[in-house]
Amino acid sequence: MTKRLISSLIASALLTAVLPSAALAAGKAPVFETDFESDKGITLKDGAELRDGKSGKGLFLDGADDYALLPKNIISDEMTISAWVKQDRKNVWGRLFDLGEDSSENFFFAPCSGSASRVEAKSKAGAVSMDADEFESTGVWAYYTVTADKDSFKLYRDGRLISEKSAGGMKLSDIKNTLNYIGKSHYDGDAFFAGMVDDLKIYDRVLSEDEILSDMAENFDYNDKKEVVTVYTSDFKDGQIIFGDSIDLPYVKIGNEELIWTASPEGVIDTATGRITQADTATEVTLSAGFGNKDTQLTTFDGLNFKVMIPPKSIPPFTVSVNAADRSKDISDNMWGLFFEDINSAADGGLYAELVQNGSFEYPENMYSWTAVDGTAEVKAEGGMNANNPSYVTVSGGAISNDGYMGMYVEEGKSYDVSLRAKGSAVMVAQLADENGNIMSSAKLDLLNGYEAEGNNPDWTKLTGTLKADKTTENARLMIAVNGTADIDVVSLMPQDTYKGHGLRRDFCEALEEMQPKFMRFPGGCAVEGRTMDLAYNWKDTVGDISERKMMENIWNTSSEPYIMSYGLGFYEYFQLCEDMGMEPVPILNCGLAWRTLCR
């Protein structure tokens, strides 16, 4: 009771001092808040405890399997969620909160996702994820605030905006939220949060930065002040030489206290305005950052002093002398090259010219990017082509349609090679359709017409044909119509016009060629690690016939959309590209450590 009463009195005073009167209007209070002095409003699960926290009691989570449940249905279209957080250890993907139904629709914040902090929301309509470049070290209290509406997501740490991203019109209220967690993820494989949580607040509106700082001031001590000053001065460099007539000094105000600078000697830098008065000789000035109220008490901190040099009046701001005739030292031509990583669809859907996505039906959702049109289409694994490619689809009396990577880009007058593996007794027709469903080209693929069987699996036959686009469109589709019943696998639509005929996009490769690179590093860094060793990049899976290459989940699979490596662009193709461009190949191999191993 004492903690709540004192906090209320402080909050009232700070709000009166800092915020406009409109902020005190009815309806501005949190829709849910807990200071964890009791378990009222929350349910402690599997050993979660209330222990000494930031002020009074806080929620302790050991990071093994304990967590707390929040009330149901607390998500709104506009939200602010804030809390004091102290991590005992960096449990990768451990959640501060995860509100939702399951992993298919949720809204979460993870202070550590391996190399950053992550905010993500996912509904049936789509997903938005946002990373921050910095995440809190262990053993330190930090005040985290997440705001979200249809326009943007924002993440604040200690009242400072550290990341912002467009929400693209996302409607948070579309997310079902009957299981709202503190400390637990909706993804079964994720770790639990390890540490303390205190003073959790949830609003049904987006708070301003001043309001966030005011909330933060309710539970603010010496260590918090030092941490805030450290954060706000982190970009201010010691030992600077300051040219010009002014200097920008970092500033923040929290409640009725603020970051205050003092300078020694006095008279050179006006710390209130940043104005500089140059002397006849160079002057070294020590700037000290403190926090408090200039009319009452100023708190200073050891280690937050910065020396700057103010040049004399006689020295111009900048003088640059260049002797173009003196090359000094030669730079090797071999130091200019390409670093390639399969990220943001750089390989499949990018450099690799294949237009069909999920041509082997091996995505976690086997029919992803495919649509059944009339008839029946059933995914099977019995009697598949091989162990790396067991899944296929049986189509009877209808058609299947593939829309590629958010649409297929085809150009008027250009030809495209279509191929697939099949077994059964049917006549098939491959069709290239435009965005309106109009058929631009057709090719007959006849299982009854004496095609040679695949050498590695005599039950399967490779059928090929050629399609030609009669218009340019970004939203073409490939359709396979079946008269009869056929098992279909390894469907491909490849432009005939590729870079030197080797299956990579001509436009991309020619742009890279113009850079005159001397080497290429491939296939990436994190992409090689994999989340676990079972998902690590294995170059042996990326060579040989495309039907025998093992599809693999990409480590950058961070949203609701699958990100799978088909390995159509594999080590053979990388080496071929290096040969075609005269580059030295620099292949990257996994050293026996997965991404999660490195993060832990």
Show the 3-state SS of 303-372. EEEEEEEECCCCCCCCCCCCCCCCCCCCCCHHHCCEECCCCCCCCECCCECCCCCCCCCCCCCCCCCEEE
Look at residue 200 and tell me if it is in a domain: yes
Is a pLDDT exceeding 70 seen at residue 20?
A: no
Is a pLDDT exceeding 80 seen at residue 319?
A: no
Query: What mean pLDDT is predicted for residues 105-112?
Result: 94
Look at residue 355 and tell me if it is in a domain: no
Lowest mean pLDDT across 152-161, 287-296, 372-381:
287-296
Beta-strand relationship, 49-52 and 408-410: unpaired
CA–CA separation, 373 vs 478, rounded Å? 12
Is a pLDDT exceeding 70 seen at residue 1?
A: no
Tens digit of each residue's pLDDT (9 = 90 or more) over 439-451: 999 999 877 654 4
pLDDT at 455: 44
Asked if residues 85 and 196 have their Cβ atoms less than 8 Å apart, the reply is yes
pLDDT band at 556 (very low <50, low <70, confident <90, very high): confident
pLDDT at 111: 92
208 and 234: one domain? no
Query: What mean pLDDT is predicted for residues 346-359?
Result: 94
Tens digit of each residue's pLDDT (9 = 90 or more) over 462-509: 999 999 999 999 999 999 999 999 999 999 999 999 999 999 999 999
CA–CA separation, 347 vs 333, rounded Å? 27
Is a pLDDT exceeding 70 seen at residue 598?
A: no
pLDDT at 467: 95
Look at residue 458 and tell me if it is in a domain: yes
Look at residue 450 and tell me if it is in a domain: yes
Final residue of a domain: which of 220, 252, 267? 220
Final residue of a domain: which of 496, 531, 552? 496
Helix (H), strand (E) counts: the chain: 7, 35
pLDDT at 48: 95
3-class state of residue 511 by DSSP: helix
pLDDT at 7: 33
pLDDT at 416: 97
Tens digit of each residue's pLDDT (9 = 90 or more) over 178-193: 999 999 999 988 999 9
50 and 10: one domain? yes
Percent of the chain with pLDDT over 90: 60
The domain of 553 spans: 338-345+505-599
Q: How many domains does the chain have?
A: 4
Is a pLDDT exceeding 60 seen at residue 26?
A: no
169 and 138: one domain? yes
Among the listed residues 249, 268, 269, 267, the one whose alpha carbon sits nearest the alpha carbon of residue 259: 249
What is the residue-averaged pLDDT of the chain?
87
559 and 463: one domain? no
Q: Whole-model pTM above 0.75?
A: no
pLDDT at 504: 96
484 and 518: one domain? no
pLDDT at 27: 41
Look at residue 128 and tell me if it is in a domain: yes
pLDDT at 301: 84
Residue bearing the bigger pLDDT, 265 or 10: 265
pLDDT at 510: 96
Give me 335's structure tokens. Answer: 């130091």
pLDDT at 458: 65
The CATH number of the domain holding residue 477 is: 2.60.120.260
pLDDT band at 530 (very low <50, low <70, confident <90, very high): confident
DSSP per-residue codes, 183-252 = S--SSTTSPPPEEEEEEEEEESSPPPHHHHHHHHHTT--HHHHHHHHHHHTTTPPTTEE--SSB------
CA–CA separation, 305 vs 23, rounded Å? 37
Lowest mean pLDDT across 229-233, 319-323, 403-407, 555-559:
555-559
Percent of the chain with pLDDT over 70: 91
Final residue of a domain: which of 166, 201, 220? 220
Lowest mean pLDDT across 8-22, 156-170, 296-310, 464-478:
8-22
Is a pLDDT exceeding 90 seen at residue 595?
A: no
131 and 81: one domain? yes
Tens digit of each residue's pLDDT (9 = 90 or more) over 532-545: 888 888 999 999 99
CA 224 to each of CA 157, 230, 253, 301, 592: distance values in angstroms, whole numbers, following the listed order: 12, 10, 13, 12, 41
Look at residue 320 and tell me if it is in a domain: no
Residue bearing the bigger pLDDT, 5 or 43: 43
510 and 395: one domain? no
